[in-house]
Amino acid sequence: MLTSPNNRMTCRPEKSLFILGEWVPPFAQDLPLVISGCRYDITCYDDTEFNTCGVPFCPTLEKAAFKRRAEYLAGRHCAGNALAQVGLVNQTVATGPHRCPIWPSRAKGSISHTSDIAVAAVTREPVINGVGIDIEAVVPDAMAEELARLVLTGDEHHLLASTDDSKGLFFSSIFSIKESFFKAVFPLVQGYFGFDAVEVTMLDPKTQRFQLRVQQDLHPGLVKGDCHQGNFLCHEGMVCSLFLLRERWCSAPRYGTA
Residue type for 95, please?
T
The one-character DSSP state at 143 is H
Residue 11's SS3 state is: coil
100 interacts with ligand COA by CB under 6 A: yes
27 interacts with ligand COA by CB under 6 A: no
Residue type for 62, please?
E
Contact segment (CB under 6 A) with ligand COA among 99-107, 141-149, 155-163, 240-248 equals 99-107
179 interacts with ligand COA by CB under 6 A: yes
Choosing from 28, 32, 48, 99, the residue that interacts with ligand COA (CB under 6 A) is 99
The one-character DSSP state at 225 is T
183 interacts with ligand COA by CB under 6 A: yes
The CA angle 241-245-249, to the nearest 5 degrees, is 175
- Shortest Å distance, C-beta 76 to ligand COA: 7
CB nearer to ligand COA: give 84 or 100.
100
Binding mask 186-215 for ligand COA (x = CB under 6 A): x-----xxxx-xx-----------------
The one-character DSSP state at 144 is H
Taking the C-alpha atoms of residue 99 and residue 112, their distance in angstroms, rounded to an integer, is 12
- Shortest Å distance, C-beta 1 to ligand COA: 25
Q: Of 38, 183, 218, 6, nearest to 103 (Cα)? A: 183
Residue 160's SS3 state is: helix
Contact segment (CB under 6 A) with ligand COA among 23-31, 34-42, 47-55, 67-75 equals 67-75
109 interacts with ligand COA by CB under 6 A: no
255 interacts with ligand COA by CB under 6 A: no
Report the sign of the C-alpha dihedral through residues 55, 61, 65, 67, in that order. Answer: negative
Check residue 89 and give left, alpha or beta (phi > 0: left; psi -120 to 50: alpha): beta
123 interacts with ligand COA by CB under 6 A: no
Q: Which residues are at the interface with ligand COA (CB under 6 A)?
A: 71-72, 75, 95, 98-101, 111-113, 134, 178-179, 181-183, 186, 192-195, 197-198
